[in-house]
Structure 1
């Protein structure tokens, strides 16, 4: 094994790990809930008397916005505390064996 191969393996691992974290669905869901929670919460803060009368005196938009904000922050905290790891690359030997097994199954039929 050459020095170039040894250097490139950790870099490749870091790149795959960064890509796995970037596309983690918890980040997308958490971010959307945070944004929508802030928007709905602000609407709830500035609700007029007609909206309060409609909701029987409860600032429902404020409470829903706060709940969405908390849920979004929990998703982001979960993603931060337990980051996604990149899956292991398939091994060339394993791939070759699985192709041979499939070809063998096809010839039996």
Structure 2
């Protein structure tokens, strides 16, 4: 690995946390879109807004997870030395 030392941030990477939140909200919207009455869909010109927003959030979460896995943040094993004054 080109001289890099340390370990990855893993679950503490902010991209993972954001992706998890988008997965939760996206899944809730998809479930709501499947159980909502047809009259609610008619209010939005026949477009199931909850379904499309939920799918969009799940795709966004997948992109964030892929980004975190392909380009992990490296955390050094040893603390950086502070400059003495």
Larger Rg: 1
Match of 2:16 among 21, 27, 30: 27
State the partner residue of 2:51: 62
Q: TM-score, normalised by structure 2?
A: 0.81
Unaligned runs of 5+ in 2: none
Hey, what's the Cα distance between the residues in 2 that align with 1:35 and 1:73? 12
Q: TM-score, normalised by structure 1?
A: 0.65
Q: Are 2:62 and 1:77 aligned? A: no
Note the alpha carbon deviations across 1:15-70, whole angstroms, 9 max, x for none: xx25x223100000001101111110111122212201211111010000000000
* RMSD across aligned positions (CA): 1.8
- Higher RCO, 1 vs 2 (CA within 8 Å, ≥6 residues apart): 2
Aligned residues: 80
Q: Which runs of 4+ in 1 moved over 6 A?
A: none
Unaligned runs of 5+ in 1: 1-9, 101-109
